């Protein structure tokens, strides 16, 4: 009996030691009994404690409501569990966020929370784990950028949330699956908050969101492994993270020189018509026609399957484009020939009304396929947009605009060839089907700027 007692004592001691080690450096933000350390602001949704969870309950006629920590946090790892029972109960967890008592809250009152938000989205869109910028820039990382994580969240069950905010890096996980990866410099610290979203219909009142096991680590932080091959939304211009470099990404524009670029049909970079200044590569305004000033520029390397990302900013009424699979064999008098991601001011440029069914509008495959986009995802003249073109080894092509997929097609398919046969490109044999080609930035006579041009070869 004495030997058994000693064994039990040893086992208990070992268990306590393991538990202490597993909790080392972690602080609970919720004691399981009270809302000590938290305060409610901006709205009138209810927060109460049920069992071991904080429960947020929707109410009618209220703006977004937040239960915020009384402390602010800078670098940290946050973990918690969350359960949502209804597909309409959109919610989120604020990170490094702030409160402005003078900001309009959208419901006729004053006071609004703004800052990074870990999205909780139980709808068919499935963007849980994406990163939103509440009451400011909106979407930084729609989870459409990482479709492999879109099914990680489970409705009606507790889900494990993990967020790392370390320096300029924010990474998220959903149930252990890598989700969003963002590099940003806007907020270094702020409060954490649990959101109950405003509801559009009175009958949606009474819906609940549950949070439990909320804990934070602010020292001895050890970043968790992040899955390979996930797109990084990097808001520091012309910079690659070590993660991206190890994943095969490279910059096509270094932010300072024209290295890697030449004029189309030329052996050197144009002596006029283009400018490199303040980290941007800009085509200068001339007379609004194709390639009559500096002319198009192309990469010195050719690419087949690839993931291409680029930031662009256009002036009012501007027209330009990013072309791919450019072969330079056609010797066209105007712009060089290739598949084109259209850059256009849809509001002011007349080309938006030409072509067929809007296939010359922003982010469209020019003269072939219209981009299906929402106005809220378009940053208007003067604002930076992020374009992305993905071409897989089996010739499936996707266009993105500011993180949202806007079109996809299969290069060389019967459907693709039918579209070409109805377009201005029908005069070019096997248009858009070259096994490889150059990347091109177009001179269409309007002022347009580029930066953060990066590419990854796909195998």
CA dist 196 and 90 (Å) reads 8
Per DSSP, the chain holds a count of helices (H) and strands (E) of 3, 29
- At residue 352, what are phi and psi to the nearest 5 degrees? -60, -25
Per residue of the chain (459 residues), what is the pLDDT tens digit? 444 444 444 344 433 433 333 467 999 999 999 999 999 999 999 999 999 999 999 999 899 999 999 999 999 999 999 999 988 889 999 999 999 999 888 776 689 999 999 999 999 999 999 999 999 999 999 999 999 999 999 999 999 999 999 999 999 999 999 999 999 999 999 999 999 999 888 888 889 999 999 999 999 999 999 999 999 999 999 999 999 999 999 999 999 999 999 999 999 999 999 999 999 999 999 976 777 789 999 999 999 999 999 999 999 999 999 999 999 988 887 889 999 999 999 999 999 999 999 999 999 999 999 999 988 889 999 999 999 999 999 999 999 999 999 999 999 999 999 999 999 999 999 999 999 999 999 999 999 999 999 999 999
pTM of the model: 0.91
Inter-residue contact 172 to 117 (CB < 8 Å): no
Contact 98, 114 (CB under 8 A): yes
Per-residue confidence (pLDDT) for residue 9, from 0 to 100: 40
CA atoms within 13 A of residue 340's CA, in its CB half-sphere? 26
Count Cβ neighbours within 10 Å for each residue of 163-196 and write b for 16 or more, e otherwise. bbbeebbbbbbbbebbbbbbbbeebeebbbbbbb
Which structure tokens are listed for 263? 């004029």
**How is residue 310 annotated by DSSP?**
E
For 149, phi and psi rounded to 5 degrees? -100, 0
Can you give the pLDDT at residue 215?
Answer: 98
Residues linked to residue 54 through DSSP beta bridges, in sequence order: 49, 211
Q: Which residue has the tokens 């109410």?
A: 59
Instruction: List residues bridging with 27 in a β-sheet.
Output: 216
Helix ranges, 303-366 (H):
none
Q: Are 412 and 395 in contact (CB under 8 A)?
A: yes
Interval 40-97: pLDDT, tens: 999 999 999 999 999 999 999 899 999 999 999 999 999 999 999 988 889 999 999 9
Per-residue model confidence (pLDDT) at position 156? 95
pLDDT (0 to 100) of residue 200 = 86
Q: Provide the β-strand partners of residue 93.
A: 118, 194
Tell me the sheet residues that pair with 282. 275, 449
What pLDDT is attached to residue 108?
A: 65
377 to 138, 146, 362: CA distances (angstroms): 9, 17, 11
CA–CA gap between residue 247 and residue 224 (Å, rounded): 17
CA dist 370 to 309, 325, 361, Å?
A: 19, 19, 7
State the Cα angle at 451 between 445 and 453, rounded to 5°.
105
User: Three-state DSSP class for 17?
Assistant: helix
pLDDT of residue 331: 80
């Amino acid at each position: 009996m004495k030997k058994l007692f000693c064994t039990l004592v040893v086992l208990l001691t070992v268990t306590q030691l393991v538990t202490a080690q597993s909790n080392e450096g972690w602080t609970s933000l919720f004691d399981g009994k009270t809302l000590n350390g938290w305060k409610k602001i901006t709205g009138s949704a209810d927060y109460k404690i049920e069992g071991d969870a904080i429960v947020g309950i929707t109410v009618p006629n209220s703006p977004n409501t937040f239960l915020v920590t009384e402390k602010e946090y800078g670098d940290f790892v946050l973990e918690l569990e969350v359960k949502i029972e209804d597909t309409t109960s959109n919610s989120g967890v604020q990170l490094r966020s702030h409160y402005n008592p003078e900001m309009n809250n959208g419901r006729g009152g004053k006071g609004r929370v703004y800052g990074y938000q870990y999205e909780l989205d139980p709808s068919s869109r499935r963007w849980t784990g994406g990163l939103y910028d509440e009451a400011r820039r909106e979407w930084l990382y729609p989870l459409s950028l990482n479709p492999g994580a879109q099914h990680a969240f489970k409705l009606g069950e507790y889900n494990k949330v993990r967020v790392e905010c370390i320096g300029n890096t924010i990474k998220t996980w959903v149930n252990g699956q890598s989700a969003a990866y963002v590099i940003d410099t806007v907020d270094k610290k702020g409060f954490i908050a649990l959101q109950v979203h405003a509801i559009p219909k009175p009958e949606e009142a009474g819906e609940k969101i549950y949070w439990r096991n909320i804990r934070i680590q602010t020292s001895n932080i050890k970043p968790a492994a992040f899955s390979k091959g996930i797109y990084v939304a990097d808001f520091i211009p012309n910079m690659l993270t070590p993660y991206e470099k190890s994943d095969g990404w490279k910059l096509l524009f270094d932010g300072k020189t024209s290295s890697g670029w030449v004029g189309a049909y030329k052996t050197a970079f144009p002596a006029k018509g283009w400018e490199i200044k303040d980290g941007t590569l800009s085509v200068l305004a001339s007379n609004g026609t194709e390639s009559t000033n500096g002319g198009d520029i192309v990469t010195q390397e050719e690419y087949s399957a690839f993931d291409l990302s680029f930031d662009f900013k256009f002036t009012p009424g501007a027209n330009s484009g990013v072309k791919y699979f450019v072969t330079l064999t056609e010797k066209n008098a105007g712009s060089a020939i290739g598949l084109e991601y259209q850059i256009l001011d849809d509001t002011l440029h007349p080309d938006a009304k030409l072509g067929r069914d809007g296939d010359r509008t922003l982010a469209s495959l020019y003269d072939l396929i219209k981009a299906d986009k929402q106005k809220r995802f378009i940053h208007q003249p003067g604002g930076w947009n992020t374009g992305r073109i993905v071409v897989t080894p089996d010739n499936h092509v996707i266009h993105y605009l500011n993180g949202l997929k806007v079109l996809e097609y299969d290069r060389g398919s019967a459907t693709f060839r039918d579209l070409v046969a109805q377009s201005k490109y029908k005069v070019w044999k096997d248009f858009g089907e070259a096994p490889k080609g150059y990347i091109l930035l177009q001179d269409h006579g309007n002022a347009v700027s580029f930066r953060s041009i990066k590419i990854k070869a796909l195998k």
